[in-house]
Each structure stands twice: as C-alpha cells, then as structure tokens.
Amino acid sequence: MNTAFDHESIAATMDVLGKAARAATVGLARCDADQRNEALRQAAAAVRAQTGAILAANAKDMRASEARGLSGAMLDRLSLDRERVESMACGLETVAELPDPVGQVLAEWERPNGLTIQRVSVPLGVIGIIYESRPNVTADAAGLCLKSGNAVILRGGSESFHSSQAIHQCLIAGLSAAGIDPAAVQMVPTTDREAVGYLLSSMAEYLDVLIPRGGKSLIKRVQDEARVPVIGHLEGICHVYVHESADAEMAKEIVLNAKMRRTGICGAAETVLVDQAGARRLLPGIVDALSDAGCEVRGDEAVQAMAPGAVAATEEDWSTEYLDAIISIRIVDDISQAMEHIRQYGSGHTESIVADDDEAAARFLSDVDSAILLHNASTQFADGGEFGMGAEIGIATGRIHARGPVGAEQLTSYKYVVRGSGQTRP
C-alpha cells in the first residue's frame, strides 16, 4: 500500500478514510459495550495469533531504520519482541475490562417546572491520532478509542509503518469478528508527510479531534496547521520541590525515583528545587544518590558550592527536557520562589512537593498551575495506568476538554437528555 501518492490521490485517499470513519460512527453508536469489548478481546487474540507476522513486519522496519542510521534510543522505541507483542495483547484485554465510559449519567437534576435533565456521556465521534515511532501506540490508542465508541484514523511514524500495518490487521480482525464496521479503526495507507498536512488542515468535516503524540516538532506542526480541535500533549519539564520541612530520606528517594526510574518518559523530573533553609541538610544526600545512580547533576552556584561534583547549570538548563540521566538543581529562597520558577520554566505537566509541613504542601497544591500536582510522591506516577485509568493515550497539558492522563473517559463528550410531560416555555 505504501506506494507513491500524488497530491490529488492523497486528498482522495484521505477523504475516503474520513467518510468511512464518519459512517462507522453510526454503527458504533448502536453497539453496546459488550460488542465493543468483544472486538477488543478478539483483537487481542489476533495479535497473539499473528505474533510471527507482526515480528516479521517489525524486522523489515528495523532493517530500514538501521540502514538509515537511526539512533539507538529510536531503534529501541521501534523494536518489538514476543514480550512487547504479548503486552500489547494484554493491554487490549485490560481496556476491555474497564467500565463502559459511554452512556453514563454524569449528572441529573430536576427543574421546578418538572423537567428532568440528565447529562449523559457519548463518544467524541471521529478521532485522528498522529504518532511517531512506537508501533504499540497503534493497538493502545485504537483500543481506547474503540472502548469509548469512537472511530479513529491512525497515522503512525514512517519508521514503524509495516509494524503498525500488521497490528492494524489484527484490530480489523477483532472488529470484524465482533460484527463492527472495520472502518471504525483505519490507518493512513501512506508514509507521505503530505497526508499529515491533509489530516491537519482539510478534514475538519470528518474529524472531531486530533491527538498528536510525539516530539516537539510534531506538536509544533500540529499547533500551527490544525483546523480541527487538538488535545495537546506538550513536553514534560517536571519539577520536584524539596521544602525545608522535608524528610531527608524521603526527599532523596523521591528525587531519585522521579529522575532515574525511567529517564525517557514525560513524567520524569528534569529539575529539583531545594529550599535554602534546608539545603545543607537535604542537598548532599540527594546529589550523592543521583551521582551514584549515574546521573549528571547540573547546579546553580549555591549547589556547586555544596556539591562539588555538580557542573554549572546554564539558563537553558531550566527549560530543557533532558529525557536522559541529567538533572538540574537550584537552591531557592522559599516556596514563593520555587513556585515562581515553576511558573516561568515549567510546561504545566507534573510537579511534586516533598514536605512535612502540611500548610506549605496545601499552598503548593493549590497555587501551582500544572495538570498533575503531587505531595510526597514521585512525578513518575503521572501515568493513566498509575491513576487507575487502565491505559492512556498520553498526558494532556492543554486546558481544554482533557487535562492530565487521557484515558477512555476523556475520549467522550456528553449530551443532555431532558424529559417532560408537555412543558412549554413561558
């Protein structure tokens, strides 16, 4: 399918996808939860049955990417093995077990004139998902969309094209086995970047929302070009603020986990702020633990004075998402300066305060404006699974529609159902 497409045929192809997706929503609206869950379980079974075909397709993608000289981290994200394939299948089954997010009565009240009003959750409609190299996103994202009764158009990265197509075949098999229109989950059949442009700018008629998953340049392109509502996922410049009242051992463990458990996820901490008043007691243990774990520590002058192993942090460090074993540490005057630093350099993703002082914690949780705020816990809990949502498409850092982990519930809208007995408005 990945043959050359010219302008006109890309437009025509994309319109066909859009129309089919829109048409699929009608059938999806008539499906009950059992049918959607059955499709998810059948898709999981197909993924297991087709493990060989998926791995063969992935080997093709890996060979092409190695030939193009992709970095080790990129290759790792792209590569699949039996375990990763099994984990995709399990993910689909987990999503099938989640409560039905559609048709739920979110609120209900009665008016003095006797009208009863219900706010009832409904699917968003057609979701476009643009992602990069991880082929498992194909199954994860499609699973959540289907769970919430949405049709989805997937546009994966060009490196993972064959892997994603093989996974897509399993999703189609699941839909068909459950009697659902296979157009409920479609993949853009070309790696041409022009198809992304068309998805962003010319499909407002067919798409209700676009969700980009990927690096800065993808997000920027989507923000610049999209003519469709976007649920944004920006970078995570996450902070741990160690208040002067913090328990030293807890602060050390939380910082170490927030940075080093996995350095490549958006909820990994990139900057630590330590109160001046507690720095002598708190900082050395933190820096030693990080260094021992192989993390490069970059600090301001005060940090360098107390921790000779630290190299000098530049202004740029405070707004850098390392996604690596590097951390920046700054000594702050107090909680006000810490919050000001986060306001200035943060990305509104996730921040944690370590403090015994409950008043300081309450102020931080109330006044800092990020999607996720934690007290005495690691920023690496910023994850839909850890929140109990079963799975997530990502962490939304925008303020419209969904903020924080985007799970099946966040992929719904609602409508009002009003019941009367002949009421007319005076």
* Chain contacts with its own copies (rule: CB under 8 A): 26, 29-30, 103, 109, 111, 115, 117, 119, 122, 124-125, 204, 208-209, 223-224, 227, 229-231, 247, 250, 253-254, 256-258, 261, 343, 365-367, 369-378, 380-381, 383, 386-388, 398-401, 403-404, 413-425
Q: Which residue has the tokens 């996720």?
A: 372
Please, which residue, 132 or 351, has the CB nearer to its own copies? 351
- Read out DSSP for 196-253? HHHHHHS-TTT-SEEEE-S-HHHHHHHHHH--S-B-------EEEEE-TT--HHHHHH
CB of 401 to its own copies, least distance (A): 4
Indicate the pairing of strand 326-332 with strand 296-299. Answer: parallel
Please, which residue, 143 or 348, has the CB nearer to its own copies? 348
Please, which residue, 171 or 211, has the CB nearer to its own copies? 211
Q: How far apart are CA 182 and CA 197, in angstroms?
A: 24
CB of 46 to its own copies, least distance (A): 30
CB of 421 to its own copies, least distance (A): 6
Burial of 268 from C-beta contacts in 10 A (0-12 / 13-18 / 19+): buried
Please, which residue, 141 or 374, has the CB nearer to its own copies? 374
Please, which residue, 3 or 425, has the CB nearer to its own copies? 425
Q: Residue 214 is encoded by which pair of tokens?
A: 């990927």
CB of 221 to its own copies, least distance (A): 13
CB of 81 to its own copies, least distance (A): 22
Q: Residue 243 is encoded by which pair of tokens?
A: 């208040």
Q: How far apart are CA 242 and CA 248, in angstroms?
A: 9
Element (H, E) at 152: strand 151-155
CB of 233 to its own copies, least distance (A): 14
Phi, psi torsion values for 118, nearest 5 degrees: -120, 140
CB of 270 to its own copies, least distance (A): 16
Please, which residue, 304 or 387, has the CB nearer to its own copies? 387
Please, which residue, 56 or 106, has the CB nearer to its own copies? 106
CB of 306 to its own copies, least distance (A): 24
The CA-atom distances, in angstroms, between 227 and each of 187, 208, 316 are 20, 10, 32
Q: Residue 5 is encoded by which pair of tokens?
A: 């497409």
Please, which residue, 63 or 399, has the CB nearer to its own copies? 399
Length of the chain, in residues: 426
Residues with Cβ within 8 Å of residue 131, at least 6 apart in sequence: 137, 141, 154, 155, 156, 157, 212, 213, 214
Residues with Cβ within 8 Å of residue 173, at least 6 apart in sequence: 42, 43, 46
Q: How far apart are CA 133 and CA 393, in angstroms?
A: 14
CB of 115 to its own copies, least distance (A): 6
Closest CA to 354 of 257, 264, 261: 257
Please, which residue, 44 or 374, has the CB nearer to its own copies? 374
